[in-house]
């Protein structure tokens, strides 16, 4: 967590970073507790 009670999630896709800031709800805390999640997706053309 960064800051007091602030939960941020960085998502990296297609070379770009998107930052999500989660609220302090129970659902947000449950999601945050599951991190880090890493998923790689390879697309064949």
Question: Average pLDDT of 29-37?
Answer: 89
DSSP one-letter string for 16-45: EEEEEEE-SSHHHHHHHHT-----------
pTM of the model: 0.59
Residue 17 banded pLDDT, cuts 50, 70, 90: very high
Count Cβ atoms below 10 Å from residue 29 Cβ, excluding itself. 13
Residue 43 forms part of a structural domain = no
Among the listed residues 43, 42, 34, the one whose alpha carbon sits nearest the alpha carbon of residue 9? 34
Residue 44 forms part of a structural domain = no
User: 22 lies in which domain range?
Assistant: 1-38
Residue 16 forms part of a structural domain = yes
Question: Average pLDDT of 11-17?
Answer: 88
Residue 9 forms part of a structural domain = yes
| Total tally of structural domains belonging to the chain | 1
């Amino acid at each position: 967590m960064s800051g007091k009670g602030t939960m941020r999630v960085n998502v990296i896709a297609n070379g770009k970073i998107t930052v999500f800031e989660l609220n302090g709800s129970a659902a947000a805390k449950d999601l945050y507790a599951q991190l880090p999640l890493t998923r790689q997706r390879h697309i064949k053309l």
